[in-house]
Amino acid sequence: MTATPSESPVAPFCERLEAQMHATDSLVCVGLDPDIERLPNHLRSRPDAILQFNRAIIDATCDMVCAYKPQIAHYAAVGAEDQLQDTIRYIRERAPNVAVILDSKRGDIGSTAEKYAREAFERYGADAVTVNPYLGYDSVAPFLAHTDKGVIVLCKTSNAGSGEFQELQVNGRKLYQIVAEHVAHQWNEHGNCLLVVGATYPEELAEVRQRTGDMIFLVPGIGAQGGDVDLAVSHGMRADGGGLIINSSRGILYAGSDGQFATAARAATDELRLAINCARTSKS
């Protein structure tokens, strides 16, 4: 994506993200989805276990990632919004150029969506947020109005049952293809839209790429969900070898046990970065 002139003091999200991908030579996003039951023994009993775990993961990986993606349900389930806020603050201190994507998949009518936009961008200070398209453009407009922020719209999700509605045929096109086209061609006037397309569906990654040009995709589903890195990259990447944010959560967070979880997380991140970069090179 070519940088476009902007009078805003803050560069647009996609521009900042591309710069970070370039600086770290990495398309890796680490999903910060802490699960109390799976945290190392020495942290689990601490009242700030989630924050301490996240800090260690961030310390271990922040020079080799383009983004962190906290999934808000993991915090909301246990009333740990304060630890989510502190985690994001820590990312800002430790690695100010790494993008923070709040994965909350919000979707509601306009007046409520304004509140959710405030939650994501003001309360948590996220750089980007995931949203659900089911309610249509007017439900996403309050997010899009934050022109320096990224709005990442669910398109083809990584779960096994995503086809139930997303693959319904509408006049020869599937629903997720129509969502992709509306987002790319009607919703994106500020250039701040991205799409979620699961690594578990490489053919669909290729189809969405074809319909949306240079748009950036957030790609979950690598690792625990079974998505293949080579296939995801070869089918989803842009001609320039970019255009993908490839997320791994459990595969990085729980790569090692107890005392060496952070070292193992770094090794897993490095391995994923390398696998992605090899796939980018061999395709280019």
- Contact footprint for a second copy (CB under 8 A): 33, 71, 73-74, 76-79, 81, 105-110, 112-113, 115-116, 118-119, 122-123, 132-139, 154, 157-166, 168-171, 175, 178-179, 182, 220, 225
Q: How far is the CB of 124 from a second copy (least distance, A)?
A: 9
Q: Do 58 and 29 touch, CB atoms closer than 8 A?
A: no
**β 150-156/193-197 pair status:** parallel
Cα dihedral sign, 50-245-115-156: negative
Active site residue 105: yes
- Residue closer to a second copy by CB (options 199, 237) is 199
Report whether 217 contacts 243 (CB < 8 A).
Answer: yes
CA dihedral 280, 177, 195, 161 (to 10 degrees): -90
Nearer CB in complex with a second copy: 179/255: 179
| 73-102 burial code (b ≥16 CB/10 A, e <16) | ebbeeeebeebbebbbebbeeebeebbbbb
**Smallest distance from the beta carbon of 153 to a second copy, in angstroms?**
10
Of residues 142, 164, 159, 163, the one with CA closest to residue 151: 142
Nearer to a second copy, 24 or 104 (CB): 104
Using CA atoms, how far apart are residues 66 and 230, in angstroms rounded to an integer? 19
* Residue whose CB is less far from a second copy, 21 or 179: 179
- Give the Cα separation of 51 and 4 in Å (integer): 37
Task: Write down the catalytic residue from 105, 115, 149, 174.
Answer: 105
The DSSP bridge pattern shows strands 128-131 and 99-106 to be parallel
Q: 40 vs 220, which CB is nearer to a second copy?
A: 220
**Polymer length in residues for the chain:** 284
Question: What is the nearest approach in angstroms of a second copy to the Cβ of residue 238?
Answer: 26
Whole-angstrom Cα distance, residue 130 to residue 220? 12
Taking the complex as a whole, how short is the minimal distance between the CB of residue 170 and a second copy, in angstroms?
Answer: 5
Kindly state the smallest distance separating residue 221's Cβ from a second copy, in Å: 9
Supply the residues annotated as catalytic.
105
